[in-house]
Every structure is written in structure tokens, then in C-alpha cells.
Structure 1
Amino acid sequence: MQLTRKGVETKRRIVEGAALEIRSQGVFSLRLEDVMGRTSTSKSQLFHYFPGGKDELLLEVARYEAARVIDDQQPELGSLVSWTAWWEWRDKVVARYRAQGGDCPLHVALSQLRATTDAAQTVAGELIGQWQSQLAAGIRSMQDIGEIRPELDADRAAAALLAGVQGGVMIFLTTGVMDHLEAALDEGIAHLGGAAAVEARPPRPAAAA
């Protein structure tokens, strides 16, 4: 469906409104009437842009939240050209999930798309692909300046680092414990650069007594 500029803006407003509803009340309580009220749209408008109803809207919310995962890591994720930059990216990832808490809108939206499993997997795959690609680009940049050994497979190393991060995220979402995510990032970066990476890590605040 070809949309006018106004149509694009209306569709975006509906998606953002639905995302806010999920953030405030959870996906299980999400009603299309609430989305319409929040976004000042009619039922006919909503079904014009989302003829598949709630499942189609949830899929677009998942795409929106997936894009936010990448956007929230910028500009650090796109500028991994020094060990300082890698540690700044690490801190930004941790800060994002700490601020978000245990309720991940992307995870919630994807988990509820039972009727569109293939589409949900596509969204998740696109997110992982973009994230891994930018990590691999950072590794290659560090190889170019001699900070990472040239024989390291950048794509495979990026995949391993991202797998550790995602595992840490899932443990955090399940338990509320951030330690595993931090360990995955710390050990992953240290594995890439060895002593040089570890030495570049900024000092951490002392734990409270």
C-alpha cells in the first residue's frame, strides 16, 4: 500500500502509541481501543493501516522496538575504532537495559506474535543481523590498526560476542540480575583485545560497603 506523507505520519503515530501502551500496561492488557484513544485515531483508520488487526500492529511495534535497540546504542556502536569506544559502547548497552528494567517491549511484542511466528523471527533476525554487522565492522576497524589479531574471523567473533550479550539480556529479563550481561560484555571485549583492551577499561566505581 502506497502511503501519502500524512499517511506515513499517521501510521507511525499509531505504532508509537501502541508501543507506549505496551510499555505502560503490558501487551496482555493491550486493547486497540486504548491505542485509538492515545493516538486520536478511529477504528477505520487503524484497520486501514493495519488490516490484520492486533497481530499486524504488534509486528510493527516489534520492528519499531528492534530499530530502537540499535538506535539506542549509537553513536558508539557505529564507531568502534578504539578500546575506549568499545568500553563506552559496553557501558551504553548496560545502561540501556538497566534503565529499561525487566520489561523489554521488543521481547514482549515478539513473544506474543504466535499467529505470525515466521514474521516475528524475521524481525528478530533483522535485528541480530544489523547488530552483528556493526560489531564485525568494529572488529575489522581494530584489525586495520593492529589492535586485534588479523587472523581472527570478525563475523564469527561478532556472533559470539552478540550471543553472550543476548544470553545476558535474557537472564536479566528473567531474574533482574545484571551480572551475566556485564560479564558477557567484559569477557567478550577482553577476548578480542587481550591485555590492551583490559588496560584501556576505565575504572569502575567501588561497590558500596
Structure 2
Amino acid sequence: MSTTKALTPKGAATRQRIIEGTSAEVRERGAAATTLDDVCARTSTSKSQIFHYFPGGKEELLLAVAAYEADRVLFDQEPYLSSLTSWDAWQGWRDQVVRRYRKLGVHCPLGVLITELGRKTPAAQALTGQLLEQWQGRLRAGVTAMQEIGEISPELDADQIAASLMATVQGGVVLLLSTGKSDHLEAALDTSLALLRATAAPAKPRDPELLHVGASEDPT
């Protein structure tokens, strides 16, 4: 539903300013309460400009905001999300996720948009699905990398682990949005990572017989 015509640099900047301004409004008011008049006032644009860049009106604009926020969700987890190849990196990712949602608190724009649009708009549902697929894919790659170096059991299904971690984060975020506290998110992530870490094969103990190589068979 979005316009596909090429924009001038000035036009692209104006469109982005509208998206970012709308995101701020959604953060403060919620998607349903945000009006085009609010957006115009915040971004110093007119309704004709908004409809020029978003012919579908408010619905198309909110979808563009959701896409913008979805990109930020992944960006804010870097540099760890793309390089989950050590437990230090996993801990860094965990801390980054907690830090992001603790900062946003109950004012997570994407959470608000998904809650208010997700059940109604197929395009919003598709956007959410794409975000979760990309996110889960990077987690899966991290699990696979850890399996290859023996830090996570190779017997576990990497895709299922990634899906479980996604559910862990999303469940914690839902509780955070309800309470304003990150305690549940932190506890769930810490428990999940601790359980994963425990699946690594323990180092094999040295064979006691090898300790006596070269010793007399009869110590007496």
C-alpha cells in the first residue's frame, strides 16, 4: 500500500521526519489516540504532505512507523545479535535487550503498534512475522555457532532453541509493558541462558590408568 515512486533527498528526509515524529507521538499517546493533526504539529508538515508520502493515510503511516521501529529492534541488539559466538557475546546480547526495553518501559512504540494494529491489519501481521523471522534466524545462527564449538549440546534443535528464546523475550516484554518492570524479562533470559550453558558436554576426566603410564605394575 506504500508509495513506490522515487523521492528526492529532500522528499526522503521529509518522509523520514514524518515517520520519526509519528513514532514519538505513538510513544506518548498510543496509536489509536495519535491523530494526523498531532503529527502535523510535531513535524511541521501539512496533511497534504502526509497524504503525498502516505496516500493510504493514517494506516499506511502507522505501518511505516512499525517498519521503522522493527528495524530499530534489531539494530539496538547489535553488535551482539550478529555475532553470538561466545558466552560473553550472549551475555552482551542479554544485557542489550534488557537495557533497550528497560529504557522504553511501557512506551515501546512497536509493542503499542503491534497490540493496536496486529490483530486488524494483515500488513501489520506480515511485518511482525518478518521481524520475528529475522530475529529468530540470527539467534539460530548463534546457537549453531555455539554447537559447533561444543558450548551447546549438538543434540538440541537450534531452531527450537531460537524460537524458545524469542518467546522468552516477548513474554518478558509483555509483562514489562504491563508492570513497567524488567524483572521478569531478566529472570527469564538468565534462566534460559543458564540452562543452555549447562548442556555443554563436560570435559572428560583424565583416565586414572594414564596417570600410571611408565610406573611399575607392582608398586611393592
**Shorter-normalised TM range:** 0.7 to 0.9
Q: Distance in 2 between matches of 1:4 and 1:53?
A: 18
Report if the CA contact (8 A) 2:80-2:93 is conserved: yes
2:181 to 150, 174, 177: 177
Q: Distance in 2 between matches of 1:69 and 1:115?
A: 20
The equivalent of 2:162 in structure 1 is 158
Is 2:74 aligned against 1:66? no
Is 2:25 aligned against 1:2? no
The equivalent of 1:206 in structure 2 is none
Structure 1 gaps, min length 5: 197-209
Report the TM-score when normalising by structure 2.
0.82
Letter in 2 for 1:156: Q
User: Aligned-pair RMSD on alpha carbons?
Assistant: 1.8
The equivalent of 2:59 in structure 1 is 55
1:39 to 43, 48, 54: 43
Pick the structure with greater CA Rg. 2
Letter in 2 for 1:163: A
Report if the CA contact (8 A) 2:98-2:185 is conserved: yes
Q: Deviations over 1:158-187 (max 9, x none)?
A: 001111111111111112232221122112
Q: Distance in 1 between matches of 2:157 and 2:119?
A: 37
Structure 1 residues 195 and 153, CA, compared in 2 at 3 Å: closer, same or farther?
Answer: closer
User: In structure 1, the residue corresponding to 2:150 is in which secondary structure?
Assistant: coil
Is 2:90 aligned against 1:86? yes
Structure 2 gaps, min length 5: 201-220
Letter in 1 for 2:116: Q
Q: Report how far residue 43 of structure 1 moved.
A: 1.6
Report if the CA contact (8 A) 1:15-1:61 is conserved: yes
Letter in 2 for 1:192: L
User: In structure 2, the residue corresponding to 1:134 is in which secondary structure?
Assistant: helix
Q: Deviations over 1:126-172 (max 9, x none)?
A: 11111101100111111121211222211111001111111111111
The equivalent of 1:104 in structure 2 is 108
User: In structure 2, the residue corresponding to 1:146 is in which secondary structure?
Assistant: coil
The equivalent of 1:146 in structure 2 is 150
Q: Report how far residue 115 of structure 1 moved.
A: 8.5
Q: What is the percentage of aligned positions where both structures have the same residue? A: 56
Is 2:81 aligned against 1:77? yes
Report if the CA contact (8 A) 1:55-1:115 is conserved: no
Structure 1 residues 119 and 152, CA, compared in 2 at 3 Å: closer, same or farther?
Answer: same
Structure 1 stretch displaced more, 5-14 or 79-88: 5-14
User: In structure 1, the residue corresponding to 2:107 is in which secondary structure?
Assistant: coil
